[in-house]
Amino acid sequence: MVSRVIPVEPFDLVIFGGTGDLARRKIFPGLYRRFLAGQMTADSRIIGAARAELSDDDFRATVAKAIAEFVSESRQDPAMIAEFLTRLHYVAIDATGAGGWAALKDLMREGVVRAFYFSVAPTLFGDIALRLSQHGVADAASRIVVEKPFGRDLASARALNATLALHFDETQIYRIDHYLGKETVQNLMAVRFANILFEPLWKAEYVDHVQITVAETVGVEGRGAYYDKSGAMRDMVQNHMMQLLCLIAMEPPYHFDPNAVRDEKLKVIRALDPVRPQDIVRGQYLAGGGQGAYTAHSENPHSTTESYIALRVHVSNWRWKGTPFYLRTGKRLRARASEIAITFKEPPHSIFDDAQGWRENVLVIRLQPDEGMHLKVMIKEPGPGGMRLMQVPLDMSFADALGDDHDDLPDAYERLIMDVIRGNQTLFMRGDEVEAAWAWTDPIIEGWTARGDKPQSYDPGTSGPEDALMLMHRDGRRWREIR
């Protein structure tokens, strides 16, 4: 199978925060991979911008190091790296000052796509938007890419939307949620809307419940200051998990078109019920496995920020009335495993006896690692001995199905950046969508803050706090194992 790579239009892409961690680990390695794949035309350029006084050559050297560190060895082609580096330039700019903007404007060319990636602290988003427009660097066709977090509550997200809207139209704003750039996350839409098989069953009448798990083995090392003000609810649920929930729960859009898709996601968020206190479990990891406890990385040794959260959520609409969605995410858990599991109900009438081993059908969509899908179905246990049932998986591992092409799949950031250049907003969050997500999130956080709830401790390397198990046991259900 050979994937088709269609070059994007020529562009000038400015990366504010071009010397930062995200740029080094994700953005430049990703851009190099797209270059290697033949997706960047010869006249496209990437311009790094930050306060440090660097020459083009200094900057190229930092990017070369990032490529050496974060691109797999099989893709390290010295001639191609050297060629890629010639596309790079650097401008020293202070987002909060006047210096550097004239130089940046002089670098911008007419007749190519202009995109500005805000890979800086969120406090600078407004400053950059203002100066891009004040200094005439951006034009009416320019695009801006805004990193997360997009606000920390509804009020701050509204304020940020309003600030950006002073200078840019919504069609120019690309709010990143890198989960939407993941191959398997997009596959959710393909699975649902390109197959007749699942859609008739995709409703409360047939779906018993849905589990969405994003488990990580890493802790918050090095990010304690940011994370402590955020916690799992703001860091993961309000954005990444919400997006997964939307893709599972949404109605079919009339077309695979940015606003049609986002309209349907927005309806899901608006249909979410408030979450009852008894349907929320928060946890915080203890020390273990040679690593410190959560509080060792936080500035506050008594921090009550959650590094784990589990929620029982209801989508109050016709399709999903009565089907709970169980969400959980946490750090320092047993394994890195992200998956969505849709458990179907029992057949309305069983012709087999209970003793014959019936178990429910489950469709598991594995996001990472080992991306793939499997559907657990009942078959007859082979051999003599009468009709005994057994559950087997119908497996589709993307690595097996796609062969060599699987290794060539772009990572989330590189795919999303190419979509910015193509002008396709489907995989980016719209302003109203982000606000609706905060409108649902805020009362949950306000509730536990007002009640003075503290997170439960959990040991690293486990599946999280005990109460999270109870959240499902109470309903006669159980979480799938994290592995």
**284 and 453 Cβ atoms separated by less than 8 Å:** no
Catalytic residue among 89, 178, 240, 374: 240
**Side chain identity at 129, as an amino acid letter?**
A
Closest CA to 65 of 54, 74, 76, 51: 76
Read off the tokens for 257.
């078109």
Q: Which is nearer to ligand NDP, 17 or 410 (CB)?
A: 17
Burial class (CB in 10 A: 0-12, 13-18, 19+), 306: buried
Residue type, 209: H
Alpha-carbon distance of 68 to 48, in angstroms, equals 18
> Running DSSP on this structure, what letter comes out for residue 383?
S
Min CB(128)–ligand NDP separation in Å:
8
- Contact predicate 481/462, CB 8 Å: no
Q: Is residue 343 within 8 Å of residue 210, measured between CB atoms?
A: yes
Q: How far is the CB of 125 from ligand NDP (least distance, A)?
A: 8
Binding mask 287-326 for ligand BG6 (x = CB under 6 A): ----------------------------------------
- The minimum distance between CB 213 and ligand BG6, in angstroms, equals 11
Query: Which of ligand BG6, ligand NDP, none is residue 94 near (CB under 5 to 8 Å by kind)?
Result: ligand NDP
Closer to ligand NDP by CB, 226 or 256: give it.
226
- The partner in contact with residue 295, picked from ligand NDP, ligand BG6, none with C-beta cut-offs of 5 to 8 angstroms by kind, is none
Token output for 280:
């929320």
Site for ligand NDP, rule CB under 6 A: 16-23, 50-52, 93-96, 119-122, 124, 147-149
- Cβ-based nearer residue to ligand BG6, 210 or 337: 337
Write down the least CB distance from residue 223 to ligand NDP, Å: 8
Instruction: Tell me if 147 contacts ligand BG6 by CB under 6 A.
Output: no
Report the residue closest to ligand NDP, judged by CB.
20
One-character DSSP codes across 105-126: HHH--TTSEEEEEE-S-GGGHH
* 216 counts as binding ligand BG6 under rule CB under 6 A: yes
Tokens for 456, please give them: 């439960």
Rounded-to-integer distance, Cα 354 and Cα 35, Å: 58
Residue 216 contact partner, candidates ligand NDP, ligand BG6, none, CB within 5 to 8 A by sort of partner: ligand BG6
- Residue 342 CA to residue 210 CA, distance in Å, equals 5
Partner touching 17 among ligand NDP, ligand BG6, none, CB below 5 to 8 Å by kind: ligand NDP
The smaller minimum CB distance to ligand NDP, of residues 273 and 299, is found at 299
The verdict on whether 240 is a catalytic residue reads: yes
Dihedral angle computed from the Cα positions of residues 413, 416, 422 and 428, in that order, rounded to the nearest 10 degrees: -150
The CA R_g of the chain, rounded to the nearest whole Å, is 24
Residue in the structure block whose two tokens are 């081993």: 357
Residue 326 beta carbon to ligand BG6: minimum distance, rounded to whole angstroms: 19
Please, which residue, 94 or 459, has the CB nearer to ligand NDP?
94
Among 208, 235, 306, 435, binds ligand BG6 (CB under 6 A): 235
CA 434 from centre of chain: 13
Rounded to the nearest whole angstrom, what is the least distance from the CB of residue 479 to ligand NDP in the complex?
27
Cβ closest to ligand BG6, residue 69 vs residue 404: 69
Bridge partners, residue 210, by sequence: 325, 342
Residue 235 contacts which entry, ligand NDP, ligand BG6, none (Cβ below 5-8 A, type-dependent): ligand BG6
Instruction: Identify the three-state secondary structure at position 121.
Output: coil
CB of 235 to ligand BG6, least distance (A): 5
Q: Which of 203, 420, 408, 415 is nearest to 319 (CA)?
A: 203
Question: Where on the chain is the footprint of ligand BG6 (CB under 6 A)?
Answer: 148, 216, 235
Q: Which residues does the annotation mark as catalytic?
A: 240
